[in-house]
Chains A and B, each alone.
Chain A
């Protein structure tokens, strides 16, 4: 067991750090960027949201109850599912816009978190929220980015390349043959951020979790091992999530008669 030692921050330290935001505000005013108001609101929102989640986590960690852990995990998944629709330029119409992202995140988040925490880390008890919640959070954040990019690529390409897709369908192709090119492109787009993140980590930037562990006194090699495990989990989870969401999206973008169904897209957004 690694000895944990860290220097606690006081609220005065935080207030001092917050004054740095004034630099941004000053720049905005000096160069008339007009973002000072948005900037201060964003900074205030961040402070309130993070402090609130800090207290929520403190409460839930103190309970160590599987039910409280599950409840918080569910809220995180639902919010991520909602966000997956908001990040798409051309989302699907109706409940599927939320349902597809949420179902994928629920499936991938559950599997990856149980594998990562239950099998690999193996805390006692296995549902200990201080392991489950951060791992799930990192999984959801990255998988959400992947599936949003993947689905956005799929639906945008389907609109743009409709004549080519329908030409194949008209010649007797099945829907997955007709959509194969845009499916492949969507899968690549969805997986690219995690591939890039893996390639860049350690050289361009130290990943956030590893930095956090080092700051709290964990041996850097131990912190690296944790970070590697998380990156592998995220990579696998993102790939699975992107695959499920894009194939599910392609299925919903066409019907059982193998027709392209652009009428199932909400074209009211982004145009």
Chain B
């Protein structure tokens, strides 16, 4: 964990359907990613997490994505999908050390017993918060969050944003896909707009 000294750098990254993308995000910075549905926001985040093969250089600090194994890269650069996937019956087996995230679970407004409940009986909003907690486990340096509050009410969204701001203060980098301009205004230092294959980065 670098926790504060990180710099995420993309150079001429060729994501399917987009013009070559180059930008960098510093530690503690939140870059909002916006654009219409199907514009390529998710594929860009997936490319940064090395979930799809792409050309171009992606580096965190001085570590090139290809210089470390895929799992080692994704341990530092973590992608959380808009629709989280689950592979067991209850949330607990989805965490490496469930005790270590107790504080995060509380901060997100979830009850302590939720980790042992069947996922089928947990609401969409609660599952989305659990997915966010799961992404934060082991303190990755970069969080690639694809509509992390899409299924949350205003109160739960506020809790999630507060937690993410705390993460930013400790030096995490966040790329936040959001369709909510107010959330972008609250959270982001800069914003990227993807439209018609073109990518523009601007200050908020």
List chain A positions with a Cβ less than 8 A from chain B: 161-174, 181, 255-260
Contacts and interface: CB of A to CB of B under 8 A. Distances in A.
A167 B84 contact: yes
Given A163-B81, A257-B70, A258-B71, A170 B49 contact: yes
Contacts of B137: 171
Contacts of B52: 259
B53 A171 contact: no
B50 A259 contact: yes
B70 A167 contact: no
Contact of A171 (B69, B72, B74): B74
Contacts of B49: 170
Those 4 A-B pairs whose CB atoms lie nearest each other, nearest first: A163-B85, A167-B85, A164-B85, A172-B75
Contacts of A258: 69-71
Contact of A257 (B53, B81, B84): B53
B71 A168 contact: no
Contacts of B50: 257, 259
B120 to A, nearest CB: 14
A267 to B, nearest CB: 16
A164 B87 contact: yes
B80 interface: yes
Contacts, number: 65
Given A164-B86, A166-B51, A168-B87, A259 B70 contact: yes
Given A167-B81, A169-B51, A259-B52, 5 more contacts: A164-B85, A169-B74, A170-B79, A171-B135, A172-B78
Interface in B133-176: 134-135, 137-138
A173 B75 CA distance: 9
B141 to A, nearest CB: 12
Interface string B78-115: 11110111110000001000000000000000000000
- Most B CB contacts (10 A, CB to CB) among A170, A174, A181, A257 go to A170
Contact of B51 (A164, A170, A181): A170
A162 B71 contact: no
A166 B75 contact: no
Contacts of B138: 172
Given A170-B49, A257-B53, A259-B52, A165 B85 contact: yes
A99 to B, nearest CB: 22
29 contacts: A161-B87, A162-B85, A163-B83, A163-B84, A163-B85, A164-B85, A164-B87, A165-B85, A167-B84, A167-B87, A167-B94, A167-B131, A168-B85, A168-B87, A169-B51, A170-B51, A170-B74, A170-B78, A170-B81, A171-B75, A171-B134, A172-B75, A257-B50, A257-B53, A257-B69, A259-B50, A259-B52, A259-B53, A260-B51
A66 B178 CA distance: 69
B129 to A, nearest CB: 15
Interface in B6-61: 49-53
- Most A CB contacts (10 A, CB to CB) among B49, B69, B80, B85 go to B85
A215 to B, nearest CB: 52
Contacts of A170: 49, 51, 74, 78-81
B85 A172 contact: no
